[in-house]
Amino acid sequence: MSDLPFDPPEPPDPPDPIPDTYEPPDPVKSPSTWEPPESWDPPAASHQTAKVEDTQLANQQIDKVRDNQLAHQPMDKVQDNMLANQQIDKVRDNQLAHQPMDKVQDNMLAHQPMDKVQDNMLANQQIDKVRDNQLAHQPMDKVQDNMLANQQIDKVRDNQLANQPMDQVQSDIRQYQTDFANRFSESEHLRRLWEAAAEESDDRYSDARASFWRSVNNDASADAAYVRKMLDAAGYDLGGEDRAPMHRLETDADNQNLDRSYRALTIDHAVPQSRSPGDAIRAENLRFMSGWDNSVRGARYDAADHPYSGQHAGINVPPEKDVPAPDKPNP
């Protein structure tokens, strides 16, 4: 028995002796040697898969219900549905008729054959080339003023076209075509503008012509506004002051001056002045013609556009006045 107040613990057992040889455990089998169990149950379908299947079944049910409904509809209801669809188409057509012109033109271009689209692109390139050439010869302040004016004009045109139905736009264009091709006397707008210009010029043709273009370029009257729209539809830009309009497309002439003379819009005498001086300022004898056509036509054609032939053939002049025979046209 110890003298200590408690009994000491028993000493621990000695460790196991270290073996003379060491054998590692069996290596883990590789996946290539793994064998599946004899039976395996697949996991349950996911939530997403179940949702897809439900949607497919729902769509099948919807199609079946629709088919069943249609099969049991009375004929008058089917006809009502057809009429309703016709009304929808009519509303769509009406909406298209009130679209802005640029959108209508884009739709028209989308349905044009490619060769026509390419021709339009080339024409637009020529227009841009003409405008750039004109701008290059203008002082900068005038260029800026013209740009601002054109922006305002474009804005006004877009607003006007956006509020016009398509049939009205087409009707206006047909009227422009008619008035542009006929004599001044056959268009109330051209006739009033020309007669006012003739009165101001004491019946002198050159002065009347300058006064007429001054009115077209600058007047705020309804007649002048109509003529400006007509000229724009025909492809002409206003000349300013008392100058004639200029067509937007170049003529590929030998020089710039000749090109401008060909593109200028002239006032042609159906019966040449040399053959009937008294008709020089009459609206019944005046019409628009390009500078190129007017230069080729000269005084060699009568009011019906038939060429004169022979000495004084078709000339309506007093007997006592002798008029030299016209030059023969070049072959």
Comparing 75-84, 191-200, 203-212, 308-317, the range with the smallest average pLDDT is: 308-317
CB 279 within 8 A of CB 299: no
Poorest-pLDDT segment among 9-23, 33-47, 184-198, 274-288: 33-47
- Residue 310 domain-assigned (yes or no): no
pLDDT in tens, 253-275: 889 999 999 999 999 999 998 88
62 falls within a domain:
no
Neighbours of 262 (CB within 10 A): 19
Distance of alpha carbon 181 from alpha carbon 47, whole angstroms: 76
pLDDT digits (tens, 9 = 90+) for 185-198: 999 999 999 999 99
Query: What is the DSSP annotation of 4-60?
Result: SSSPPPPPPPPPPPPPSS--PPPPPPPGGG----S--PPPPPPHHHHHHHHHHHHHH
Determine phi and psi for 93, rounding to 5 degrees: -60, -40
Q: Write the pLDDT tens digit of every residue in 123-172.
A: 666 666 666 666 566 666 666 666 667 666 666 666 666 677 888 888 99
pLDDT of residue 302: 83
Calculate the dihedral angle through the C-alpha atoms of 296, 314, 266, 133, rounding to the nearest 10 degrees. 0
* 311, part of any domain: no
Whether residue 71 lies inside any domain: the answer is no
Give a yes or no: residue 137 inside a domain: no
pLDDT at 194: 96
> What is the domain extent for residue 244?
150-297
233 belongs to a structural domain: yes
Q: DSSP label at 200?
A: H
pLDDT tens figures, 92-102: 666 666 666 66
What pLDDT does residue 265 have?
A: 96
Helix (H, G, I), strand (E, B) or coil at 247: strand
Question: Is 118 domain-assigned?
Answer: no
Counted domains in the chain = 1
Please tell me the chain's helix, strand, coil percentages from 3-state DSSP, rounded to the nearest 5. 55, 5, 40
Share of the chain above pLDDT 70, in %: 57
Does the pLDDT of residue 322 top 90, yes or no?
no
- The answer as to whether 139 is a domain residue is no
